Structure 1
Amino acid sequence: MQTRLLQEQRFSKLTPQAEKWEEDLPEKYDLQQPTAPKLIRVNEINDTWMEIPRYENIAWHGMWVISILSILSLFTYCSLFQFSEFYSEASVDSKIFILVAIFSFLSIFLFFFKMALFVPRGTPVRFNRKRQKVYVYEHQRSIWPWMRWPTVIKVFDWTDIHGEMLMYSGRYDYGHRLSCAVCQRGTYEVIDRFLLSYTVGDNRMIRGLWNHCCLYMQYKPVPETPLLTRKPLSWTPLNTVRWPEDLDKESKTAPE
């Protein structure tokens, strides 16, 4: 019985295995993938480069609601002490508690305010088949809102990338994701990972997107019309994706 259970266990060929891993996707150069190529979303596709946006499954309008509620709570909290003698008569421990509470309200407000106003929508991944490079636009945010949230562009060789499907089963995030694992050349030792698609319900969409990228990078014919065309709202120019000039040019052109 124990032997049979061990045989039924499935593991990724990639090391370390991704959290919430479900299966390794076919190798990039396998032309007989079982799912037809399909795009979920696309910003641009031409003979040189293709850009795929990544929209997170987040209710962005809720960020505004929480930030407003947190700052109103802070004003209410401070007003209570402004019109009473409690703070001046409080013990040292009570004063510390009050200051910690005020700092917490400010931190919550700042976090959700930055999320709503400054986080780019649809951070993209560009595939340049002339250079055989992949350019990943990453906005690195932290749970600590007082820190700077920088934008980093990661550049990888397409030959080092392997596809894997992840499965999320949370109450508010149920479905599959397409993860790309970047390995050391000629090995399955993972040195980095990035998501190419956030959660979708149908795993055939994930397999189709991976096949589409594989065929595109091999100059094979692929569909250019995405399944989804509607773009989520972006309220201000501060949410706009801004590529560094040199990498923007490099990722859109063929090598000289």
Structure 2
Amino acid sequence: MIFTTPLLSKAAPGWQHDLPGPNESPSTEPYPPALSNPPNHVDDVYLELARATLRMRGVGVLCAISVFAMTAFFTAFLIMIESSSPAPTSLLIIIIELSVIGFGIWLGAYMWRMDVAAPRDEPIRFNRANHKVYVYRFRHNGLRPFSRSAWNVRVEVYDWDDLRAEACSVYGPMGTGGLIETVTMAVVKPGTNQVIDRFHFAHGIRQGEMYWAMAQLFMQQGLQALPTFPRPPRDWNNEDVRFNLARRLAPKVQWPADIDLESRTAP
């Protein structure tokens, strides 16, 4: 069953509908040929699904280089104009010029870091033995594009029973407008519908529904409930990235040793 009125105290931006809860029957059946990636790993203890906040890698690097080049050209042009002008420039004009240059530097740095600082994968592990979910999360801060501490990876651990899936769609800032569909995961306070955290789960509502259904089937029934995938898992850390600068510079997935052991084994 798909709920058509928000179940949570504060629905996600662009909310369309809620998906069935973690211990309810899935709303759809996973169809492997329609899924972009097979599970990274699955056995009797845990299921690991690939996850990424960025759908495309490499575009941001090209945009950042273009922004830096235009900012440098604009700066050189201003220096040439100022040096050849006999009249002094007003303070207001100087402030506007510096603001434009500063914005260009910030925008270029943000685009670059968003493309190269995010890990090659942001997997999520569902451990059936301890009913826990482990999320490899990339966090960033657009206001601090040059900060190291504000751009990092953290592993969050949640109880399976506290997860809720929401289908969302918003119009993105594209030339003629573009619909962006996602499935977002909400973490609620135990026993309530009060949201205490949210994170991206999947691109595309249809794909997100099937990935969520896979997690439900695995956690409820086990390995035998999952479909067979025709393709082998993708090795995100060791794939050929020679022709994609962003993926080449992106850090590999490296779970903390204690969390890695805990998430892959039974208590």
TM-score range, shorter chain: 0.7 to 0.9
SS at match of 2:165: strand
Q: Contact conserved, 1:121 with 1:241, CA < 8 A, in 2?
A: yes
SS at match of 2:204: strand
RMSD over aligned CA atoms reads 2.9
4+ residue segments displaced more than 6 Å: 226-232
Alignment correspondent of 1:135: 134
Distance change (3 Å), C-alpha of 1:227 and 1:17:
farther
Gaps of 5+ in 2: none
> 28, 34, 42: which is aligned to 1:35?
28
1:152 pairs with 2:154? yes
* Residue 75 (structure 1) shift: 2.0
1:78 pairs with 2:93? no
1:235 pairs with 2:251? no
Q: Distance in 2 between matches of 1:136 and 1:225?
A: 23
Q: Contact conserved, 1:38 with 1:226, CA < 8 A, in 2?
A: no
> 207, 210, 226: which is aligned to 1:208?
210
* Residue 213 (structure 1) shift: 0.8
Q: Which amino acid aligns with 1:217?
A: M
* Residue 158 (structure 1) shift: 0.5
Q: Distance in 2 between matches of 1:130 and 1:153?
A: 19
Q: Contact conserved, 2:186 with 2:198, CA < 8 A, in 1?
A: yes
Q: Which amino acid aligns with 2:151?
A: W
Q: Which amino acid aligns with 1:146?
A: F
- Alignment TM-score, normalising by the size of structure 2: 0.77
Number of matched residues? 242
Alignment correspondent of 2:50: 53
What per-residue deviation string (whole Å, max 9, x for no partner) do you get for residues 162-190 of structure 1?
23322345543444x32222222222222
Gaps of 5+ in 1: 1-8
- Alignment TM-score, normalising by the size of structure 1: 0.80
* Residue 115 (structure 1) shift: 1.9
Q: Distance in 1 between matches of 2:71 and 2:215?
A: 48
SS at match of 1:218: helix
The 5-angstrom pairing of residues 118-133 of structure 1 reads 118-133=117-132
Q: Distance in 2 between matches of 1:237 and 1:54?
A: 18
Alignment correspondent of 2:11: 17
* Residue 143 (structure 1) shift: 2.2
Q: After the TM superposition, which of the residue ranges 63-72 and 138-147 deviates more from structure 2?
A: 138-147
